[in-house]
Amino acid sequence: MRLVYSAKYRVDIGTHVFATAKYGLVLEHLRASGWLDRASVIEPTAAGWDDLARVHGRVYLDKLRRGHLTPYEVARLEVPWSAETVEGFRLMTGGTIAAARAARDHGAAVHLGGGFHHAFRDHGEGFCVFNDVAVAVEALRAEGRLRRAAIVDCDVHHGNGTAAIFANDPDVFTLSIHQARNYPAIKPPSRIDIHLDDGTGDEEYLERLAPALDEALGSSPDLVFYLAGADPYFDDQLGGLALTLQGLRRRDALVLGAAARASVPVVVTLAGGYARRLEDTVTIHAATVEEACKAARAL
Ligand SMILES: [Zn+2]
């Protein structure tokens, strides 16, 4: 299994519910449990500004480069602007591109980062500066390595930026399964949106996800992007669903197994995760990597 990761993902954004330390902790967890022995780690390079410009508007990118975001734009982003923050997110976006390439070459890859699905073409919001998955879709298309993609977004929050970016693109199938009564307030339609009630648990979640997944894979994608958010977890600070550790692992196995059976390569990004206990977030993300290794071996 190819794992994309950089120690530089630990960006200093002050005291924040988004613990950028989680990425390194996931790697350490995998090392301690022996799973890292089955992986090779790829160090990414930052996404170029030209890569970003395939998705994001020049005005927005210029504001980020020069530190010219308005106070409203910074407030909407919900992370403080700094040159280091911008570089950190540019690197993480490069990580998703690298993981997407590795998945196309080897059938599967995991990015220990990414999943910034709230970033729109012309602005960032909700801790998401660049829409890394959209940038990776366009990078691989520009390289002629991708025609159709499916984006399976299992973060507890709706993938609003991704849905808006690909709203008029018939070759990108967007699926979002999320808590209905949660951020973002306005949810631009994905191809399939599954709006779940507060407190939805493992069984209903998996029953609702399975047929939608079949439909996404039925669109004959060349690559599936799986946003394996840890925040549908019952003890998440920003989520109101009730999945257990075991339920989240079954979700991962469902998505990864379905893609493997359909012989579609998968690239995993971690997306959100804000459990009250940071170690729970780390355990959930590490379990996703383990399930990806198992699914890849079953190919
Ligand atoms: Zn989230």
Each residue's pLDDT tens digit in the chain (299 positions)? 999 999 999 988 888 888 899 999 999 999 999 999 888 999 999 999 999 999 999 999 999 999 999 999 999 999 989 999 999 999 999 999 999 999 999 999 999 999 999 999 999 999 999 999 999 999 999 999 999 999 999 999 999 999 999 999 999 999 999 999 999 999 999 999 999 999 999 999 999 999 999 999 999 999 999 999 999 999 999 999 999 999 999 999 999 999 999 999 999 999 999 999 999 999 999 999 999 999 987 65
- If you search the block for the tokens 């022996």, which residue do you land on? 34
Taking alpha carbons only, the member of 42, 198, 46, 221 closest to residue 130 is: 46
Ligand 1 centroid to Cα of residue 296, in Å, is 26
Reported as a single tens digit per residue, the pLDDT across 74-87 is 999 999 899 999 99
pTM (2 decimals)?
A: 0.97
Domain positions in the chain are 2-297
Give me ligand 1 centre to Cα 118, in Å.
Answer: 9
Q: State the distance from the centre of ligand 1 to the C-alpha of 229, rounded, in angstroms.
A: 6
Strand order in the sheet with 192-196: 40-42, 2-4, 108-111, 266-269, 223-227, 149-153, 172-179, 192-196
Please list, residue by residue across 137-160, b when 16 or more beta carbons sit within 10 angstroms of its beta carbon and e when fewer do: bbbbbeeeebebbbbbbbbbbbbb
Contact at 8 Å (CB) between 161 and 118?
yes
Residue 272 CA to ligand 1 center (angstroms) comes to: 4
Ligand 1 centroid distance, CA of 122 (Å)? 20
Whether residue 162 contacts residue 151, with contact meaning beta carbons closer than 8 Å, is answered with yes
Cα(218) to ligand 1 centroid in Å equals: 26
Only one residue has tokens 């949660």, namely: 182
Task: Find the 144 Cα to ligand 1 centroid distance in Å.
Answer: 31
118-136 pLDDT, tens digit per residue, is 999 999 999 999 999 999 9
Q: Please give the distance, rounded to the nearest whole angstrom, from the Cα atom of residue 93 to the centre of ligand 1.
A: 17
Per-residue tokens: 239: 């989520």
* Separation of CA 230 and ligand 1 centre (Å): 8
One-letter amino acid identity for 268?
V
Total number of residues shown for the chain: 299
- C-beta separation of 4 from 106 below 8 A: no
Angle at 132 between CA 247 and CA 15, to 5 degrees: 75
Span from the CA of 156 to the centroid of ligand 1 (angstroms) = 5
249 phi and psi angles, rounded to 5 deg: -65, -40
| Superfamily of the domain at 2-297 | Histone deacetylase domain (3.40.800.20)
